[in-house]
Amino acid sequence: MPTYDLAMSFLDAYAKALDAMQHIVHIDSTRDAVNRAYSDLEAGREVDPGILCLILGICACLTFYWSTTGRSWGTELFHELEPAHKAAAHWAEQGLYAMQQMHLATASYTIESVQGMIMLTFLFYHIEGFTARVGLMHSSAITMARSLGLHRTDSPQAATANLSQAETITKEVQRKVWWHLACTDWLLAFMGGPQEGTYTIRTMHRIRLATTCREIADDLWTKLQFTDPSDIDPQTILALDLKFESQTRELPHFMRLDTSLAQLKESYGEHAATAMDAQRLLIHLMLNTRRCKLHMPFLVRVKTHPCFAASRAAGLQAARTVFEARRHAIQNDKSLVAQKLRLGGLLQHLFLATIVLVMDLCINRDEINGATLVEVRESLQIMDDAKESSPIGRRFHESLLNVLRKHNVVLPNTTQQAHSLGPTETAANGSNGISVDLPNGFPGMEANDIDFDSMWQDFMNAGPTLDAQTWDAILSDLDMQPI
pLDDT value for 344: 60
- Predicted pLDDT at 117: 93
Q: Is 290 in contact with 190 (CB distance < 8 Å)? A: yes
Whose CA is closest to 478, among 410, 401, 399?
A: 399
Distance between CA 49 and CA 310 in Å, rounded? 54
What is the chain's Cα-based Rg? Answer: 23
Q: Is 437 left (phi over 0), alpha (psi -120 to 50) or beta?
A: beta
Helix or strand run (H / E) with residue 392 = helix 391-406
Phi, psi of 429 (to 5 degrees): -95, 0
Q: How far is CA 321 from CA 316, 331, 443, 466, in A?
A: 9, 15, 28, 27
What is the CB-side half-sphere exposure of residue 87 using CA atoms within 13 A? 23
Q: Which residues, in sequence order, are CB contacts of 35 under 8 Å at separation 6+? A: none
Give Cα separations from 10 to 13, 16, 146, 190, 424 (angstroms): 5, 10, 29, 33, 25
Whole-angstrom distance, CA of residue 204 vs CA of residue 391: 36
Question: Is the separation of the CB atoms in 120 and 100 below 8 Å?
Answer: no
Domain boundaries, the chain: 4-148, 296-309+317-479
Q: Please state the length of the chain.
A: 483
Per-residue model confidence as pLDDT tens for the chain (483 residues): 888 998 998 898 888 878 777 789 999 999 999 999 999 999 989 888 889 999 999 998 888 877 766 555 555 667 777 787 788 888 988 888 888 878 777 567 899 999 999 999 988 888 777 888 888 899 999 999 988 888 888 766 566 667 788 888 989 999 899 888 988 888 887 776 666 767 777 665 556 777 787 788 778 776 776 778 888 899 999 999 999 999 888 888 888 888 888 888 889 888 888 888 888 888 898 899 989 989 988 988 888 899 999 999 999 999 999 998 888 777 755 555 555 556 666 778 888 888 888 888 878 777 777 777 788 878 877 777 776 666 666 777 676 666 656 655 554 443 333 333 233 333 333 344 444 554 443 343 344 444 555 656 666 666 666 677 777 777 776 665 554
Cα–Cα distance between 457 and 257 in angstroms, integer?
A: 32
Pairwise CA distance, residues 186 & 427, whole Å = 34
**CA atoms of 351 and 390, how far apart (whole Å):** 13
Q: For residue 444, give the 3-state DSSP assignment.
A: coil
CA distance 252 to 276: 11
Q: How far apart are the first and last CA of the chain?
A: 31
Question: Alpha-carbon distance 303 to 435, whole Å?
Answer: 49
pLDDT at 442: 39
The closest of 242, 249, 325, 243 to 284, measured between CA atoms, is 325
Q: How far is CA 263 from CA 3, 270, 280, 334, in A?
A: 39, 10, 14, 18
Burial-class residue 413 by CB neighbours within 10 Å (0-12, 13-18, 19+).
exposed
Q: What is the pLDDT of residue 239?
A: 92
Task: Quickly list H helices, 250-343.
Answer: 261-268, 270-299, 309-329, 336-340
Q: How far apart are CA 359 and CA 292, in angstroms?
A: 12
- Other Cβ atoms less than 10 A from the Cβ of 40: the count is 14
Closest of 368, 439, 427 to residue 128, by C-alpha: 439
Minimal CA–CA distance to 277: which of 9, 17, 61? 17
The model carries a pTM of 0.61
Tell which residue, 2, 91, 111, has the closest CA to residue 48. Answer: 111
Integer Cα distance of 464 and 362 in angstroms: 5
- pLDDT value for 74: 54
Alpha-carbon distance 218 to 475, whole Å?
20
Give the per-residue pLDDT at 455.
59
Select from 50, 191, 201, 192 the least CA-distant residue to 111. 50
pLDDT at 14: 86
Non-local CB neighbours of 329 within 8 Å, separated by 6+ positions? 277, 281, 335, 337, 338, 340, 341
